[in-house]
A and B are shown apart, each in its own frame.
Chain A
Amino acid sequence: MTTLQSIFTIAAVAAGTVLTRFLPFLIFPEGKTPPKYITWLGTVLPHAVIGLLVVYCLKDAVFSASHGLPELIAMGFIFILHRWKKNTLLSIAGGTVFYMFLVQNFF
């Protein structure tokens, strides 16, 4: 990707993000109430999107030579660490270091 293409890509992402933030205020100006279906989607969608993002992270690993085995082991490690210590930042840092150790030494 050239620098110009990078700038366009970043601008596209920024535009999409800004739009998600401003849209409700544009559609429902002061005084208008949104339909129930929309507010309901707002309560269930965030959970599903995180699931989608987890799969997104693994999309290339699944089809790679190791079939996502190191990712699976590291995710198991995160699961145990998070159950044990319940510390978000520790789990993220620990999981990443553990994964790096795995792929640098065994895979």
Chain B
Amino acid sequence: MKKRAFQAALPYTIPIAVGFLFLGMSYGFLMRSKGFSVLYPMLMSFFIFAGSMEFVTVNLLLSAFHPGHAFLLALMVNARHLFYGISMLDKYKNVGWKKFYLIYGMCDESFTVNCSVTPPPEVDRGWFMFFVTLLNQIYWVSGATLGALLGYVIQFDTKGIEFVMTALFVVMFLNQWEESKDHRSALTGVGCSLLCLLVFGSGQFILPAMALIILCFTFGRRKEYKETTG
């Protein structure tokens, strides 16, 4: 039963393996170039297992000690998981102890596969989703570890390598822009954040920006609702 589920899950994760190994390696390499030992990216990629937040955590570790701020930032950057969770309430039912790991390892990519792929009838659904999640986490942790190990061997001028995080988010932004016709959400995000950055400064603009984004959405929705109902 497990073997079948593994064989069904593996092909769906191959493209993810390419992306995760590349991004994981750049993350591990970045951490190494900032002077962290290989243990850091290895353990962080395992315990946090949320790519964007791991990149952000590199910055947090290099600035002043504010664990409360780090916790809130993780909540907000990963707020999308709340909605993945809501979408998966039904799918993760009746899978036994595996449910715990399915939730723990629910990253963007595992969510996408588990949410959209229906395994063939002879394959156990719980084990299929389990292997999708597990394989993806293995790719990510291996990538991060390999990248940091490479950082010990290869030496070159790494000035500016932290831009990999900006590049990642810019490309994600462009991809989302292409996928949806309604750009109000994306523009609200950029607009509110820029405004708060200028008003509150770089140290503490994230919280007000997030509040402002939710506020804009909530008011915009009310207005729309009123307009449609007359």
Q: Residues of A at under 8 Å CB distance from B?
A: 1, 5-6, 8-25, 28, 30, 34, 37-60, 62-63, 71, 74-75, 78-79, 82, 88-89, 91-93, 95-96, 99-100, 102-104
Contact = CB atoms under 8 A, between A and B. Distances in A.
Provide the main secondary structure of the chain B interface.
helix
B187 interface: yes
Interface in B24-73: 26, 40, 43-44, 47-50, 52-53, 56-57, 60-62, 64-65, 67-68, 70-73
Interface size class, chain B: 35 or more
A64 B190 CA distance: 20
Contact of A103 (B85, B160, B191): B160
B117 interface: no
A91 B160 contact: no
Given A17-B74, A42-B83, A89-B18, A102 B160 contact: yes
A16 B83 contact: no
Given A17-B81, A21-B104, A78-B170, A12 B67 contact: yes
Given A44-B217, A55-B194, A96-B26, A14 B47 contact: yes
Given A25-B85, A48-B185, A48-B213, A20 B173 contact: no
Nearest to A22: B103
Top-3 shortest CB links A-B: A42-B83, A51-B189, A16-B74
Contact of A21 (B26, B61, B81, B93): B81
B71 A13 contact: yes
Contact of B52 (A53, A62, A95): A53
B98 to A, nearest CB: 13
Nearest to B157: A104
Contacts of B2: none
A12 B193 CA distance: 23
Interface stretch (B118-126, B141-149, B201-209): B201-209
A46 B83 contact: yes
Contact of B70 (A9, A54, A55, A63): A9
Nearest to B43: A10
Given A48-B217, A100-B163, A23 B85 contact: yes
B160 A39 contact: no
Contact of B48 (A17, A23, A71): A17
B132 to A, nearest CB: 15
B87 A42 contact: yes
Contact of A75 (B79, B99, B170, B197): B170
